[in-house]
Structure 1
Amino acid sequence: MNDKILSYIGLATGAGKTVTGEEKTLEAIKTGKTKVVLLAANAGKSTAKRIKDKCATYEVTVIDKYTNEELSQATGTYNRVVLAISDKGFARKIKELL
C-alpha cells in the first residue's frame, strides 16, 4: 500500500475508528460523528448519490478516488464501498493529505 491516505485508513480501521456500511455511514454523517467519508469510485449510482447528498448537507468531505478493491485492501475487509472516519485526528490528517 503506497498511498498515505490508504495507510491512514488502515490505521484508523485497526484502531476501531471507522464506521462501515452505507446505513451506518449515513447515520454517522447525520449525527456529526464524522468529517471524512470514503466512497468507492465504482460505487453504485444510488449509493453514491445518497452519500454525496448527505455529505453536502452536513458539510462532510467525500473522497471518491479509490475503488472498492483498494478500500477493502486498506481495511482488511471484503467489498468495502463506503466508510467514515470517526476520529478527528485521523480525519484531519487524511484531509491534509488531499
Structure 2
Amino acid sequence: MSNSYLNLLGLALRAGKCTLGEESIVREIKQRKAKLVLIANDTGKQTKKKLTDKCSFYEIPCYVVDDRDTLSQAIGKAGRVAIAILDQGFAKKLQSLLDESIRG
C-alpha cells in the first residue's frame, strides 16, 4: 500500500478528526458520525468481524489496511488496530488514495 494515505491519516488525527479504540469506534458508527473505518490486517478475528459487521449494517465504508505497527506509527500511538475517520473530507480523500493503491 502507498504511504500517502498514512501521511493523511496522521494529519487527520492531529486535526482531531479520528476516533481510536474499539468501543469508541462502534459508538461513532452507531451514531453515524464515522465516515470511514480503517482496520489493521492483523486485527483479531472477533474485533475485525464486529467492526466490519457494524460498518456494513450502518453503510459506512470500511477498509482492511496495513498491519497494526504501520497504522500505529502513522498516528504516533502504539498498538492501534482500528481508526474511525469522522470528517467527510478526510474520509473521501483517504478512500480515493486507498482505492488507487488497490487498483494500482
TM-score (norm 2): 0.89
- The one-letter code sitting in structure 2 at the alignment partner of 1:22 is E
Count the aligned residue pairs. Answer: 97
CA distance in 1: counterparts of 2:16 and 2:71, whole angstroms: 15
For residues 10-64 of structure 1, give each alpha carbon's deviation from its aligned partner in whole angstroms, at most 9, with x where no partner exists.
0001111100000000011110111210101000000000000000001111111
Q: Secondary structure at the match of 1:28?
A: helix
Which letter does structure 2 place at the counterpart of 1:80?
R
**Runs of 4+ with >3 A deviation:** none
Partner amino acid for 2:48?
A: A
Q: Structure 2 unaligned segments of length 5 or more: list them.
A: 100-104
Hey, what does 1:96 align to over in structure 2? 96
Query: What are the within-5 Å matches in structure 2 for residues 6-85 of structure 1?
Result: 6-85=6-85
**RMSD, aligned α-carbons:** 0.9
Inter-partner Cα distance in structure 1 for 2:85 and 2:28:
9
Q: Secondary structure at the match of 1:43?
A: coil
SS in 1 for 2:32: coil
How many percent identity over aligned positions? Answer: 42
Q: Which amino acid aligns with 1:90?
A: F
TM-score, normalised by the number of residues in structure 1: 0.95
